[in-house]
A and B are shown apart, each in its own frame.
Chain A
Amino acid sequence: MASVSIRRLSKRFGGKTPTTAIDELDLEIEPGEFLVLLGPSGCGKTTTLRCIAGLETAEEGSIAFGDRMVFDADGHTNVPPNKRNIGMVFQSYALWPHMTVRKNISYPLRIRKIKGAQAKTWVEEVAALVDTTPLLDRHPAQLSGGQQQRIALARGLVARPELVLFDEPLSNLDARLRDQVRSEIHELHGRLGFTAVYVTHDQVEALALGDRLAIMNAGRIEQLATPEQVFEEPATEYVAGFIGMANRLVFERHDGSWMLDGEPVEGDLDAIGGSSQTIKARTRPEDVRLAPADEIPPPASLSFPATLVDSEFGGRHLDVVVTVGSTRVQSRIPAGERGSWARTLEPGRRVLAYVNPRDPAFYDDDGVLVSSVGRAVAVGT
């Protein structure tokens, strides 16, 4: 299996509004690792993948597969994509419409001069792996999106490349198929053990598939860590926002007591904020709870009064929007039984909002993640 090491890679796009797509990126991918490049559109993740494939040429830096240099701006090395021995799965599937499925899958084998019985066996093996054996003699246009993407997967894997690149392979599929094909990719990786680089903007896909995630922003990697770490300890506010911590709460110290947008905050923020004057918290809607305004909040929680703006019924839960001063806060609370307190909420009602200080991610003025209470406790015990 190949490792991939990317050093100080930079790529700019010219034109009327020049943009830096990749900005001095460093990345080491272990052999057999499943690495996910995650970020919104325009963050440089696809460009990075295409540079690894050799479909784009960077201006600076180097890329090596194992000890083999495939791109080096200084050494004027640029191995063309066809000599890099990779497999690639495209967002648009890119199955050649004039070839049958069998021809599509066996194309990489024909190029590598693997013929006859061996080629046939490999094609049928990989077709069986992605569960498409009955489709081998059809043309791509006759297949559904999910089937087409499985064939594309088979074509990417058939030559048993050391490195497989995935360019948002699931984003053209509908939600149900997406889950299905995703778990197939996960299984295949577990079974075959290739090194994978996978580009997506979907955090659920990223968390499910990646051994490690690289969250990208403006051509740089903001955080490179395991899914658990990214989920629980997002290194920056940008990462937190991207993986679902939609609420941004800015706590400020006024005359010794903590306020949130003009409303008083109950709870021990000093333990987190220390002596600083402001502290920012990022939380998920599920972690913001609501209670009647006159109720006493649970011990050790951070609570603040809020005004209800809207409530949407979601089956087992309610999606509620409240405001604290002019800060909008989203909360997802259990819907409870018919006639429960939560279901009687109406716009304009004053409520008490609270969070467990273990749940949010807290950032200081410089945007650096500070030890949360939860982790402080974990370290203490």
Chain B
Amino acid sequence: MIKIPSYLKPGDKIGLLCPAGYMSLDKVANCIKVLQEWGYEVRVGKTVGGFSQNYFSGTDTERLTEFQDMLDDDSVKAILCARGGYGIGRIIEDIHFKKFKKNPKWIIGFSDVTVLHAHIHANYQIATLHAPMAGAFNDSEPDGEYLQSLRKALSGEKIKYQHEVHTFNKKGEAIGELVGGNLSILAHLTGTSSDMKTKGKILFLEDVGEYCYGVDRMFYQLKRSGKLNKLAGLIIGGFTEMKDTERPFGKTVYEIIRDIIEEYNYPVCFDFPVGHMKENMALKCGVGYKLKVTKVKVTLDE
């Protein structure tokens, strides 16, 4: 049975850190301000705007130590990753989840943070939050629906998503735990101890900056490793900034996906607002949802 961390109350403290790529302090200022306006206290980690001169926000040890510290600190009620990038895969096996397992808290983020979503789902059955990170507070209005979905998710308000139809959608109704995240990360974790099972679940996927053939290859990996055949439902989010080879692949990314999952009967929706774009809804990984895909609309209800 999935464990759901306590939702946040006014005055609760959110830890903000960079477990992967570097982010400067000025880029998180809006995020901190808005979280405070929402009534939360923010503890800003040293990995945010740290002294790192390279790609990472700090050394592996620095990033690991800070994550571990916030994970184990009872006064921190949720951990918001300021950004993704690349780097959680380098420290995941060294994080101790013993205390977190007893006192779960919300771990928030997307993209590279999918490593945490998958690892926690595969090993501890604790819900996590796939949601916009600090950068989104620079690009979106705090009262817009995407940042508001994060606020609602944190405070425990149930969210009902409603979305437009897409011609590739497959109608139906699915009930199951919601799991997913970044396609490249999920493909890359296949066969490791962070590899999650998808049987009977609603899987959502998004990606950015990949080649069409690369997306095709990763979907083949999901398919051939048994992650697509027993789903309850499938949600395809944004596949943004896609690239093609000199000789065109001959299909759009959505056509590639449509054709690979053609043989399955579960409901599928395309163009769902999750991914590397403004339209990025907070989704609770591990929590039960109902996905309904009809001729006129798509709904996803907790």
The finding on whether chains A and B are genuine partners in a shared complex, rather than unrelated, reads no
